[in-house]
Chains A and B, each alone.
Chain A
């Protein structure tokens, strides 16, 4: 994955492997609300993920997609 922050990367792996955890994070259209929800859900699992980490993670994922041919 394109995410580099360790706790966020660990959280992404946890979520991807656990579809039961998706419902609280899916269908959130607003980026701010999404970042806040991800940070809260990560904290619930004992991971230190800030809203800024999530924003950087989204930017990194977008960049990885845009640079797919590079």
Chain B
């Protein structure tokens, strides 16, 4: 299991009149083994000592002090595509340090600047979030929209392997329509992070916006796969096997035979709510409305099929 760590952990990055600052929580004795980083911090902050006695530093102080502590691997994803299962399975490895969607990473990516500046901030916060000792793998699972900033990750960590988890965008759109993520709400992500405007009809519906956003994420994954030799595309249908067979080796992680049972045990439970058994079943697109089917067909399927062709070629080998 992920170990506890005697340390201060950055839990929040925000900006005031003096510039970007970091709030730190004393996390000695807190196990980072929840499905998401935020849940672990919430748990830690129930302790009044940890809640009251926080540190605050300027972000540029840690940029100046940043040690070279790159992650072992990065997990990008389309959302609702199995990335939490990937991180949960890797969390079970001895000495693994696996963080799932740590808010401070997104907060530093949300600060505009030149590529080198943004990469410097990213290196600093990823280093600050990392383990104190590099005895095991350090894996970062990112927010779904982080692939929009792939160039920043590439600049910050040019040698670090990455995976992109995805599935049929119809499955994702239907799931998102039931419980939506931040990036699927129009205008929550600033235009500069999206790059060129989304390919949207005039007065788009929420389904059309969502489909266009998914297409954008798939296109950015495609661009990343074209420019980086360190990527691996993982379709939801390839899970959970692709964690042991492909993702772990891709990250250079040796999985001891004695750990395989424990890792597979994880797959029996709902990755995001592990008190519940994993339900499985067909993708959510079987419940799609005609409007959702239409939006996906018009706005996202071409991007999905391009990525699928690329993955199939890569999976087939040279």
Chain A residues engaging chain B, CB cutoff 8 angstroms: 1-3, 12, 15-16, 22, 25-29, 31, 34, 38, 54, 57-58, 61-62, 64-65, 68-69
Contact = CB atoms under 8 A, between A and B. Distances in A.
Contacts of B51: 58, 61-62, 65
A1 B48 contact: no
23 contacts: A1-B23, A3-B52, A12-B53, A12-B54, A16-B53, A16-B54, A16-B55, A25-B49, A26-B49, A27-B49, A31-B48, A34-B49, A54-B52, A58-B48, A58-B52, A62-B45, A62-B51, A65-B11, A65-B51, A68-B11, A68-B103, A68-B107, A69-B103
Nearest to B14: A68
B143 to A, nearest CB: 12
Interface residues of B, number: 17
Contacts of A27: 49
Contacts, number: 52
Contacts of B45: 61-62, 65
B61 to A, nearest CB: 15
A57 B54 CA distance: 11
B12 interface: yes
Given A22-B49, A34-B52, 19 more contacts: A1-B55, A12-B52, A12-B53, A15-B53, A16-B53, A16-B54, A16-B55, A25-B53, A26-B49, A27-B49, A28-B49, A29-B47, A34-B48, A38-B52, A58-B51, A61-B45, A61-B52, A65-B12, A65-B51
B43 interface: no
Contacts of B223: none
Given A65-B12, A68-B12, A68-B14, A57 B23 contact: no
B227 interface: no
B14 A61 contact: no
